[in-house]
Amino acid sequence: MSAPVYLRRPPDWEEHEKPTLPGSPAMIHHPPWERACYALVAVLVGLAGGLGNALFTANLPTIQGQSGLTPSEAMWLQGAYIGFNVTANLLIYKFRQQYGMRLFTEIGLGAYALLSVLHLLLGSPQSLLLLRAASGLAAAACTTLCTLYMLQAAPRIHVPKMLVLGIGITQLATPLAWIISPGLLDHGQWHNLYHLEAGLALIAFAAVVLLKLPAGVHIQSFERLDFLSAALLIPGVALLVAVLVQGTTRWWLDAPELAWMLVGAIVLLTAGLYLEHHRRNPMLQTRWFTQSASVRFVIGAIVLRFLTTEQSYGVVGMLRTLGMTPEQMQPLFGVILAGTLAGIAASALTINMETMRRQLIAALLLLGTAALLDFGRSSLDRPADFYLSQFLAAAGAGIFMGPLMLLGLIQGLKQGPNYMITVIIAISMTQTLGGLAGSAALGTYQIYREQAYSVAITRHINPVDPQVAARLQQQQQALAGQVADPALRSALGAAQLAQIARREANVSAFNEVFHIVAMIGFGYLAWALFQARRAKWAASIAAMRSRWRSIGDASGEIGTDAAIAATPESGQQAPPMPAR
């Protein structure tokens, strides 16, 4: 690749102040009070980027009911957020290289705040769809900006720790949303959620304008073919997201339009990747994905993200099935928040080049153990019964993101600056689409098993059976004070018994979800330990061969010296052989 074209003359930085990459701010000295301000802005921006969608997800049934949306329409809102969030990273990296991160953030946060206020005025499904799309765009910018601000909060020697903290802040949004949602909804309808979302966006917008990041290096980054690649890849990813969010709602085989969307996604993504593969200066280094180390990294990132869906889909879904409300789940998410903070703190305090992989192993162990502890739940379990398992799961989730990001950045820097956008996109895709695909896969499996259990349970509900007849009689007696008609009482009692049977079928299906997540977690943990041991064996064998080679070379040198010493010097006559 040709040398970069600088758009501005770089300042005369000291060597330790220079930014690592174009588009990144310089690491200049700040007084302690200013470093504290950078840390506070990082927390504010990180929460502003993630809290809006977390509030929406936590209160989706309430918003869906108050807005008069069908389940399919509600999932389109989730798809709009995820589609814009995951594809924004295709442009953010090059945009900040050429124009700076602050401009992109001001555009993203400004549009987000404007649409939040607009939705408060209109309150229509169309404005809500636009708001969710803007929220995804702003969240992508805020995640990067949060990390960049947190890096300014400490000297350069602490970059790994600050990176872990910056990434970890965005993970706090989900438990915080569940904790504060009941209080917001107690004093009004959905408007309070968007008052908070709009307020956070406006405050974050003001903060990044007042406290600016240090200047960086700006280079000519965009090329004409970048926009053609984006025009192919972004709609392709958006169609793939649409298929994943709608698959379990409309069911995979019952909606032909999902098949056409999947075909469109495959065609567009294939064309975009083909173009990138044959470009001189591609955005995505497709050959990076063919390296064995890269393949292992991507698989590991997907598996770790998949394991976290045991909490977001499995536990939350099961508790909702059992009728638990956000108020009842509030203490559980307090425990999850504590576990996430503990995981982030443990990772930040211990991270270095030697412990990164150990932290990922520890995260795998914690996530797998949490799923194993949740296996065997019953309909009598309540949020308090999940405290231990979900604390472990939250700690594992808090641990793995920092070292995963750092490991990816190190792999990208080894290949060169041109590979950084590839690594960033790979991490973003594995975490966003990995979580979405994990929820879709577990949701499909849970629905399939629930149907099987429902059939098996219903088959044994025979009104002639004395136990079934006694249970129906109990149901009818409980309704006697409310319903006078005996026939209607009998029908309602049978319906309640069928509802109880379906609840038990759902609980059994969720137990299978926990079981399969635990199996995948411990299976991948065993494979990762085997790969680590194998790499250690290979390194020891290579060291042994090198040692023997050096010994052999030394022996050869000694033998050569002895031969030279025994050979007559040039110009001298060899001594006569002794007579017999």
Beta bridge partners of 6: 219
Q: What is the number of domains present in the chain?
A: 1
pLDDT at position 337 is 92
**What average pLDDT score do residues 281-286 get?**
82
CA dihedral defined by 170, 175, 179, 184, rounded to 10 degrees?
Answer: 50
**CATH code at position 161:** 1.20.1250.20
Q: Say what the pLDDT of residue 339 is.
A: 92
Q: Which residues pair with 216 in a beta bridge?
A: 25
Query: What is d(CA 292, CA 308) in angstroms, rounded to the nearest whole number?
Result: 25
pTM of the model: 0.82
61 falls within a domain: yes
CB–CB of 181/246 below 8 Å?
A: no
- 87: in domain: yes
User: Which backbone phi and psi does 351 adopt, to 5 degrees?
Assistant: -75, 135
Q: Is the pLDDT of residue 8 over 70?
A: no
- Please tell me the predicted confidence (pLDDT) of residue 477: 64
Return the amino acid letter for 266. I
Note whether residue 239 is domain-resident: no
Does the residue 119 lie in any domain?
Answer: yes
Please spell the DSSP secondary structure of 219-237, one letter per residue.
B----HHHHHHHHHHHHHH
Q: Which long-range contacts (CB under 8 A, 24 or more apart) does 410-419 make?
A: 411/293, 411/294, 411/297, 413/20, 415/285, 415/288, 417/21, 417/22, 418/1, 418/281, 418/285, 419/285, 419/288
- Cβ atoms of 226 and 283 within 8 Å: the answer is yes
Structural domain includes residue 407: no
Cβ atoms 178, 327 nearer than 8 A: no
Report pLDDT digits (tens) over 453-493: 888 877 776 666 676 666 666 666 666 666 666 676 667 66
Q: Please report which confidence band the pLDDT of residue 504 belongs to, taking 50, 70 and 90 as the band edges.
A: confident
| Among candidate residues 274, 313, 277, the one with its CA nearest the CA of residue 434 | 313
Asked if the structure places residue 188 within a domain, the reply is: yes
Question: Is 378 exposed, middle or buried, given 0-12, 13-18 or 19+ CB atoms closer than 10 A?
Answer: exposed
Looking at residues 135-142, what average pLDDT do you find?
A: 80
**Which pLDDT tens digit goes with each residue over 40-58?**
999 998 888 888 788 888 8
Nearest-angstrom CA–CA distance, 239 and 269: 10
Q: Coil, helix or strand for 483? A: coil
Residue 50: per-residue pLDDT: 82
The helix/strand/coil state of 219 is strand
Please give the residue that has the higher pLDDT: either 404 or 193: 404
Q: Give the pLDDT score at 109.
A: 76
Q: Is 326 left (phi over 0), alpha (psi -120 to 50) or beta?
A: alpha
Q: Which of 136-145, 166-175, 215-224, 435-444 has the lowest mean pLDDT?
A: 215-224
Domain that holds residue 96: 16-222
Establish if 23 belongs to a structural domain: yes
Q: Is 552 inside any structural domain?
A: no
